Amino acid sequence: MSAKIISGKEISDSIRGETAQRVASLKKKHDLTPGLATVLVGEDPASQSYVGMKNKAAKEMGIFSRQITLDADIPEAELLGIVEGLNADPDIHGILVQLPLPDHIQESKILLAIEPAKDVDGFHPINVGRLSTGEMEVLAPCTPAGVVQMLLRTGNDPSGKHVVIVGRSNIVGRPMASLLLRKAKGGNATVTVAHSRTPDLGAVTRLADILIVAIGWPELLKADMVRPGAVVIDVGVNRVDDDTRERGYRLVGDVAFDEVKEVAGAITPVPGGVGPMTITMLMSNTVDAAVRQAGIQE
Ligand code: GUN
């Protein structure tokens, strides 16, 4: 039997609609326009495209957005000064510095300079700490926050379930575990984190009611590693060579979709699965940040 396909695009569209309504209501009731600043250093085409999509999404939802584009050779001190300026700017409630940064700039130093209340990526150590201690009023990293929404909105509440996460990155695996462990809606799961050094990965992944794969390894997860009926969330986006495509590659996830969909109960595709959720949750975080900074009730 073939798995139910979880459409990130559809879920993302409904959250975007809700976010646009929140923004409209904040403007009307409180004269507050949430503002997002994106900072792009250098000319990496993928980063340019991501930042462009973030600004477009902001505009579509009525969020004020300001893109700051800087030369790749900008000194670290100058970039720190720009972040300080945004920290102090009352029109800006969310700051996103697109990663990766050029080698001469220490990423951790820049992330540490962002005011935690404006850290809509959820990468500042203060926000990482708050999330891992189970605080609710926190800006959580966008991709794992999006995965929680996908589970809740498809009737797959993780509460009481065994969730196996494959991957331990700071952007997905670790914050994913923290979110799922919280004593709150979207949490209360039993969580196992497996990774590249886990021996017999299949023995672990087969225990999962919900399997979240974010390891950056094309089609690593095969059908025999999935318990029949499990929910499979594929966070991976990998380019693999494909001469039949005009651009010379195609995108695949970390899950061997065609075979796993015959075993799983539900599965996310790549593209069109988790991908669209990340930018959507960034906008939702920006609105949350604006509300908290203004000290108002929505
Ligand atoms: N580069 C790739 N993904 C991300 C992200 O989620 N946030 C930022 N700031 N940079 C990224």
Residues 64 and 109 in one domain: yes
Asked if residue 11 belongs to a domain, the reply is: no
Residues 147 and 246 in one domain: yes
- Residue 79: how many other CB atoms lie within 10 Å: 21
**Alpha-helix runs per DSSP H in 31-75:** 45-60
Asked if residue 122 belongs to a domain, the reply is: no
pLDDT in tens, 66-99: 999 999 999 999 999 999 999 999 999 999 999 9
Asked if residue 146 belongs to a domain, the reply is: yes
Q: Using the mean position of ligand 1's atoms as its centre, give its distance from the Cα of residue 98 in Å.
A: 5
Domain assignment of residue 174, given as a range = 140-276
Amino acid at 223: A
Asked if residue 2 belongs to a domain, the reply is: no
- Mean pLDDT (the chain) is 97
Residues 151 and 251 in one domain: yes
Q: What is the 3-state secondary structure (H, E, C) of 229-244?
A: CCEEEECCCEEEECCC
Number of residues in the chain: 298
Q: Are 293 and 25 in contact (CB under 8 A)?
A: no
- Residue 97: how many other CB atoms lie within 10 Å: 25
Work out the burial of residue 22: count CB atoms within 10 Å of its CB; fewer than 13 is exposed, 13-18 middle, 19 or more buried. Answer: buried
Q: Using the mean position of ligand 1's atoms as its centre, give its distance from the Cα of residue 1 in Å.
A: 36
What residue's CA is closest to ligand 1, atom 9?
A: 98
Asked if residue 265 belongs to a domain, the reply is: yes
121 is catalytic: yes
Stretches where the chain sits below pLDDT 70 are 1
Residues 268 and 145 in one domain: yes
Query: What whole-number distance in Å separates Cα of residue 34 and Cα of residue 63?
Result: 5
Contacts of 4 (CB under 8 A, 6+ apart): 154, 265, 266, 267
The pLDDT of residue 1 is 65
Q: Are 234 and 251 in contact (CB under 8 A)?
A: no
Catalytic residue among 119, 121, 209, 234: 121
- CATH code for position 174: 3.40.50.720
Looking from the CA of 196 toward its CB, the CA atoms found within 13 Å total 7
* Strands, E assignment, 62-215: 64-70, 94-97, 162-166, 190-194, 210-213
Query: What whole-number distance in Å separates Cα of residue 113 and Cα of residue 115?
Result: 6
pLDDT in tens, 107-146: 999 999 999 999 999 999 999 999 999 999 999 999 999 9
- CATH code for position 79: 3.40.50.10860
Q: Is the beta carbon of 99 within 6 A of some atom in ligand 1? A: yes
Q: Using the mean position of ligand 1's atoms as its centre, give its distance from the Cα of residue 50 in Å.
A: 8
Coil, strand or helix: which one is 274? coil
Residues 44 and 85 in one domain: yes
Query: How many structural domains is the chain composed of?
Result: 2
pTM of the complete model: 0.97
Residues 271 and 171 in one domain: yes
Q: Is the beta carbon of 98 within 6 A of some atom in ligand 1? A: yes
Residues 151 and 261 in one domain: yes
Q: Is the beta carbon of 121 within 6 A of some atom in ligand 1? A: yes
